[in-house]
Every structure is written in C-alpha cells, then in structure tokens.
Amino acid sequence: MSARIDRLSETDKRVLQAAAVIGKEVPFPLLVQIADVSEEELREALDHLQSLEFLYETSLFPELKYTFRHALVQEVSYGSLLGNRRTGLHRAIVDTQEATGSEQSLEFLDQIAHHGYRGELWNKATLYSRLAGKAAIENAALSEAVNYFEHSFKSLKRMDPGTETGELEIDTRFDTRAALIPLGQIEKAKGHLQTALAKAVELEDLKRQGLANCFLCNTYWELGEQDQAIEAGLLAQEIGKQLVDDKILNSAQRYLARAYQAVGDYPLAIKYFAESLPNHGEVSPSHILIRAFLLICRGEIGEFDEAVTYGMETVELAAATDNIIAHSAALSALGRVYVRRGEFEKAVPLLEDALSRAEVAGIALLYPFTAAPLGAAYARLNRLDDALDMLEQSIEKAVAMNRMVDASLWRYWQAQAFLLSGDVVAAKQAAERGLAFSITYKERGNQAGLLRLLGDIQTLTENSDPVATETNYGLVPY
C-alpha cells in the first residue's frame, strides 16, 4: 500500500493525505479548504483516486462526501505525512470548522476536539473536549462524556500553568463528577471534587469553594456519610450567603435537604427542598429531582394524598423535559410513595417503567433507587421469587457502587420479603443487617422501621423472647 501511494502524482498524494487527516468521512467543502490545491486540480485528483480505488463517493446531498475504500488506505496515507504538515493540516481543519460551523452538535464538537489535540492546539482541544463532554451528558451518553473530560485533562496539562488553567481544571472536575455519579462511580467523583476544592482553596477562589462543597455534600450523601454531607452543605450555604450567590445557596439547600432526609429529619428536609424550588421559569431536570425527593419526604410522614397529587404533576413535568434521569427519578419517587401507602398494584407499572428507562440509558445509580421499591411491591403481590431476586440485586449493586444511602431501607424491604416467604431466620438476619446499616449511617427514619420489624419477627420465632421483643419496640426512636 505504501508503494502504491508513493507512485501517485504529487497532487494526488497531497489530496489523499489531506483526506486522511480529515478522517474516514471526507466532506468535499472541507477538503477544498485544506488540500492546498485549486478546486479544478482537486476534482481531477479525486476522480483519479476513485479510479485507483483509494476513495469512493458516498453522497451528493446535502454535500458531496467521499470515504476511504479500506481503513488501511487512510492509515498508511496518514502515516506517510511529515509531522509538521500533519500538524498544520489538523490546525487548518480546526480553523475551517470554527469559521464555518454554526452547529454545536456532539459530532461537530468531537471532530474539532480531535483535530485540536492532533494539531497541538491545547487551549482549543481543552475547550472543545469539555464542550463535547457536556453535550454527551445532555444526550445521556455518560461513559462517552467521561472519556471526553479525560481528553480535556490531557490537553489541559499541556497548557501553560496559571490561574486560567487552575479554574479550567476545577470546572472540568465539576463536569466530570456530573457524569461519574449517575454511572455509580461515586468514589471517583469524590476524588475529583476533593482535588477541585483543594485547587480552589489554593487559588483563593471562594465561589468555586462554595460549588465544590455543594457537590461534595451530594456525594457524601450518596456514600451515606451524612455528617460530612451536612458539614459541607452548611459551609457551602455560608459561602453562598457571603457572596450573595443564589446558585450556590440553592444548590446547598437542595443537597442539604437530601442529607436531612437521610437522617430522618423530614420536616427540615421538606423545608429546604421547598425553598430550593425555583418560583418561575422553565422546568429543568434538577427541578424535577427536587420535586421527586420532596414527594418521597411527604410520603414518609404520611401525607399520602398530597404526595400522590404532587407526584403525578412531577411525572407529567418530567416527561416534558425529555431527560431520562429526571423522568426515571420522578416515576420511581411516585412508585415509592405508592409502596409506602400500600397501593402495590399502582406502584409496579411506574417502577417497571422507571427501571426500564434507567437500564436502557445505562444509569447504574438509579437501579437500587428503583428496583428496591419494585421488589418490595412484588413481595406484597406474592411475586416472591421476583421480589427476592430484585432486592438482592439492588443491595449488591448499591454495595458495588458504595452507594450506602438508604441501604438500610433496601434491607428492610428484603427482610419483609423473606418474612412473607416464610423464612423467618433469613428475615431476621436481613433486618439485623439493615439495623446495623441504619445505625452506622445514622438513618433514624429507617432505624425506626427496622426496630419495629425486628419486634414483629421476634414474636414469630419459636422461642420468642418477650424481653427482646419489648426492647425492639421500646427502642423505636419516635
């Protein structure tokens, strides 16, 4: 192949090499701009290259495009370029795309980031890789987003160090966390945020310190580390007040609300959730998530009618956002309220829909949040094999992600399922594990339910211990 390319005329070879730099798909308008030959020479060269079966035409509309006959042709042609010319062609592509590209699609951003990196335009490679990552998040392509952010970090390291690069590093770590958390890579997200916070302190950047603490509050909540979550959230809240920054204040409130919900302080959680809701404007995915947690809290304190009405509105709003995470979370939250209310037939279709959406999108974080209440509903509808399997998977996946928030609740529902199946010993073991989790992670609302359940189980054992039963009921922390 190398010998065949060497035998080409100088013009044919230049055109083939320029096409190889563009990529497998070669738009004619772009090739015109970078090939460094006249349009007439270019068309003659393309005709000749097609006759030799190096390239072939793939489309005429909306623009003329060519592609390589074999991947090896592109690979060898690209490899035959000297370094300076190869770098120059990549840079020319970036300049042309920036000048002519009006769209900001993921495909466009991916291409310009790639050529920026190959052209050693580190600032542009950093910028467009980050933009591609954010676009991938919008498309729920979370693993792709992480890859783009990693490429952004690689380019960032090649830039001259300074305040600008420090701020870019922090912001890109924030973006990376937004992709890692839904994928269930919570510890990695925590590492990025702790590094971001240290960098913000180094730069004396109070605003980014506030944002880092907001995001750490949420991440600690996911990990079940509620003391740290509340500490970070309160610090973020103070910074928000000091800077009069509504974005930081709002984020701090909604993340603090999750931590207060986890420790069983439902009134305070409801207060913070309600205060963090926007009063007007377009309904965003974050708006839907706040509503989802708020309706769960209302269900936990027995406000079922209000929670169901609010939940139905939330599901309708979520469907209009076309955001998979928000829609799945809204369906899960309403389903969970129905489980708490004992309306299991109503819970199942909502939770099955939510689980299907989360699985199709590959959003690992939502699995236990959705599958565990679905398992609880299955158990009450006498689908015990399905229930036990789904609950066990929920627990396993939560542990694998180290997502410990509500792990005690998943054990509570598992213990109930074992009890309904007649396996009192397994039910007691699951409830005791759940109780241990609730104490370790300070989930006092779940602790109350587990103590009550252990009291019920104790009355069913063959050698029931009335003192132990009374102790369990007496310890319920109302």
Give the tens place of pLDDT for each residue, 324-368.
Answer: 999 999 999 999 999 999 999 999 999 999 999 999 888 999 999
Predicted confidence (pLDDT) at residue 281 exceeds the cutoff of 80: no
Nearest to 327 by CA among 301, 305, 360: 360
Please name the residue that has the structure tokens 């019920």: 456
Architecture of domain 285-395: Alpha Horseshoe (1.25)
* pLDDT at position 361: 85
Distances (CA, A) of 227 to 294, 297, 440, 441, 445: 21, 20, 11, 9, 16
Predicted confidence (pLDDT) at residue 478 exceeds the cutoff of 50: no
Predicted confidence (pLDDT) at residue 424 exceeds the cutoff of 90: yes
Predicted confidence (pLDDT) at residue 59 exceeds the cutoff of 60: yes
SS3 state at 56: strand
pLDDT bin (cut points 50, 70, 90) of residue 477 is: very low
* pLDDT at position 6: 87
List, for residues 60-112, the tens digit of each pLDDT value: 878 899 999 999 999 999 999 998 999 999 999 999 999 887 677 888 999 99
CA–CA dist 336, 330 (Å, integer): 10
CA–CA dist 129, 145 (Å, integer): 9
Higher pLDDT pick, 458 / 202: 202
Percentage of the residues of the chain whose pLDDT score is greater than 90: 84
Other CB atoms closer than 10 Å to residue 354's CB: what's the count? 28
* pLDDT at position 17: 95
Percentage of the residues of the chain whose pLDDT score is greater than 70: 96
Architecture of domain 1-102: Orthogonal Bundle (1.10)
List, for residues 173-212, the tens digit of each pLDDT value: 999 999 999 999 999 999 999 999 999 999 999 999 999 9
Q: Which of the residue ranges 39-48, 188-197, 319-328 has the most confident prediction, judged by mean pLDDT?
A: 188-197
CA–CA dist 210, 233 (Å, integer): 9
List, for residues 2-29, the tens digit of each pLDDT value: 889 889 999 999 999 999 999 999 999 9
CA–CA dist 214, 441 (Å, integer): 20
* pLDDT at position 56: 92
* Cβ pair 425, 462 in contact under 8 A: no
Predicted confidence (pLDDT) at residue 31 exceeds the cutoff of 50: yes
Higher pLDDT pick, 385 / 472: 385
SS3 state at 280: coil
pLDDT bin (cut points 50, 70, 90) of residue 462 is: low
Q: What is the mean pLDDT of the chain?
A: 92
List, for residues 255-266, the tens digit of each pLDDT value: 999 999 999 999
- Reading the block at residue 426, the tokens are 């397994």
Distances (CA, A) of 111 to 22, 104, 129, 239: 9, 11, 9, 39
CA torsion sign for 220, 223, 228, 231 is positive
CA–CA dist 268, 344 (Å, integer): 28
For the stretch 108-115, contacts whose Cβ atoms lie closer than 8 Å and that sit 24 or more positions apart, written own/partner, are 109/135, 110/148, 111/23, 113/148, 113/151, 113/152, 115/90, 115/91
Distances (CA, A) of 209 to 182, 198, 215, 237, 310: 23, 8, 10, 11, 34
* pLDDT at position 461: 75
DSSP string for 359-374: HHHT-TTHHHHHHHHH
SS3 state at 160: coil
List, for residues 115-146, the tens digit of each pLDDT value: 999 999 999 999 999 999 999 998 889 999 99
Strands 65-68 and 25-27: antiparallel
Predicted confidence (pLDDT) at residue 473 exceeds the cutoff of 50: no
* pLDDT at position 294: 96
Read off the pTM: 0.87
- Reading the block at residue 263, the tokens are 């420790």
Angle between helix axes 10-22 and 39-51 (nearest 10 degrees) is 90
